Amino acid sequence: MSITVAMYSHDSVGLGHARRNRALAYALAADLPRVTGQRVRGLLIAGHPDATQDALPEGWDWLVLPGFTSGDGGYVSRSLDISSARLTNLRSATAAAALKAMDPDLFIVDRHPFGVNGELTAALDMLRQREATTILGLREVLDSPEVAQREWASIGGADAVADRYDGIWVYGDRGIYNPLDTGEIPAALASRTRFTGYLAHGRPEDPVHPSSVRAPAPYVLTMVGGGSDGGAIGLAAARAQLPQGHSHIILTGPQMPAADHDAILDAARETGAAPGAVRVTRYAQHVPKLVRHAAAVVSMCGYNSMAEVMATTTPALVIPRNSRRAEQPRRAAALAAAGAVETLSQERLSPQELTRWFARAVTSRTLRDGIDLDGLTRIGDIAAAALPERTAAQKTTPLPTTVERPSYAYSR
């Protein structure tokens, strides 16, 4: 017998939701066989084709839905020339058909309980009838309390979520930031909520190939997540002066507009740095390793970027996004208060500020031992405890203790 896991992420902006689910997939593929004695297979439902650039564990695969993106009046079709209503119907039917065919024991939804425009409602109702365990996975910071409360109200409030979800996993350390205390998660859902710890130690790390992004050590690293709004950070970093003897890798992200990416390339060529000292590229599969070996990192303050940073001792300067949501500034403030990062506002961003910070940071390291970063290393036990009774009843002879685990690094 085997355990089937399905996950969903809407992915309208950036790839953070899909990559968070991917990290969970690797952890579950490694640990659920050890805990339950059963093999594990899975399906990740995502909303952006770039998600599939990231490999999955053996026995897992991607299902990419036609994409939504954020428009002036809400969600609009990313590529198809159809209305939002028709795209919602298409995505809803596709997701429901896939979940019916997979018949998962465990279904994990990232951030949006009912998907875009309620597209998951039918699938969730079907899974409840089949006695699957349904979990809502939330990053530790949602938004300002006022915005979060409006969003809960718009989907029917805590009761609507409680009707369709068995539990809520918050991927954070409640001692650093507690969305129950701030009101970002309704108090009525507190009994269903479990804090896992940050998904930091044990994130999947793809192997390094001869063609992989690299730079001569020592190097500094700048990364801006998906890149859709990271142009100003990348440009300031490209114009910054490097510490003596250091090279620079700038990851602009697969979703950065071509004009912004090209401007960063031009700026890197004009700095007067030695040939090859500044490497500008959209994408690298082995970001955790790049962060770990960097002398210093400049980054936006998305959840996954911070998880990759906090798994290391690399000094980090975070420049939180100040548009769309209050998520990143609130996370940056909480992590800075814990001594995990330094922060710089978008208003103060300049090549000169980054030059000064790089010069100071490359001579130090940052300890983050006081933060719970072990969510991935315990998620197998958490998931096993949440599995439905029908799965427990199907258990066969436990697998050998030498079950092969997917290879990914544990950085301390």
Q: Are 78 and 122 within one domain?
A: yes
Q: Is residue 405 part of a domain?
A: no
Q: Are 245 and 300 within one domain?
A: yes
The predicted structure's pLDDT at residue 389: 67
Q: What DSSP letter does each residue of 188-226 carry, written as one string?
A: GGGGGEEE---B-TT---PPP-TTS---PSSEEEEE-TT
Q: Are 44 and 181 within one domain?
A: yes
Q: Is residue 321 part of a domain?
A: yes
Q: How far apart are CA 110 and CA 190, in angstroms?
A: 18
The predicted structure's pLDDT at residue 394: 53
Q: Are 195 and 261 within one domain?
A: no
State how far the alpha carbon of 35 is from the alpha carbons of 216, 307, 381, in Å. 42, 25, 7
Q: Work out the burial of residue 242: count CB atoms within 10 Å of its CB; fewer than 13 is exposed, 13-18 middle, 19 or more buried.
A: buried
Q: Is residue 406 part of a domain?
A: no
Q: Is residue 212 part of a domain?
A: no
The predicted structure's pLDDT at residue 13: 81
CB 195 within 8 A of CB 224: no
Q: Are 183 and 227 within one domain?
A: no
Q: Is residue 214 part of a domain?
A: no
For residue 90, give its domain range. Answer: 2-201+373-393
Q: Are 274 and 193 within one domain?
A: no
Q: Are 128 and 167 within one domain?
A: yes
Q: Are 29 and 159 within one domain?
A: yes
Structural domains of the chain, count: 2
The predicted structure's pLDDT at residue 65: 97
The predicted structure's pLDDT at residue 211: 66
Q: Is residue 208 part of a domain?
A: no
pLDDT in tens, the chain (412 residues): 899 999 999 988 878 899 999 999 999 999 999 999 999 999 999 999 989 988 999 999 999 999 999 887 789 999 999 999 999 999 999 999 999 999 999 999 999 999 999 999 999 999 999 999 999 999 999 999 999 999 999 999 999 999 999 999 999 999 999 999 999 999 999 999 999 999 999 998 877 776 678 777 899 999 999 898 999 999 999 999 999 999 999 999 988 999 999 999 999 999 877 878 999 999 888 899 999 999 999 999 999 999 999 999 999 999 999 887 899 999 999 999 999 999 999 999 999 999 999 999 999 999 999 999 999 999 999 999 999 765 644 543 343 333 343 333 333 3
Q: Are 266 and 167 within one domain?
A: no
Q: How far apart are CA 66 and CA 71, in angstroms?
A: 16
The predicted structure's pLDDT at residue 390: 54
Predicted confidence (pLDDT) per residue in 354-411, tens digit: 999 999 999 999 999 999 999 999 999 999 999 976 564 454 334 333 334 333 333 3
Q: Are 154 and 15 within one domain?
A: yes
Q: How far apart are CA 395 and CA 412, in angstroms?
A: 34
**Residue 284: enclosing H or E segment and its boundaries?**
none
Q: Is residue 403 part of a domain?
A: no
Q: Are 84 and 191 within one domain?
A: yes
The domain that contains 153 carries what CATH number? 3.40.50.2000
The predicted structure's pLDDT at residue 76: 94
Q: Are 82 and 130 within one domain?
A: yes
Predicted confidence (pLDDT) per residue in 144-169, tens digit: 999 999 999 999 999 999 999 999 99
Q: Is residue 56 part of a domain?
A: yes
Sequence-separated (6 or more) residues with CB below 8 Å from residue 285: 53, 54, 55, 206, 212
CB 229 within 8 A of CB 323: yes
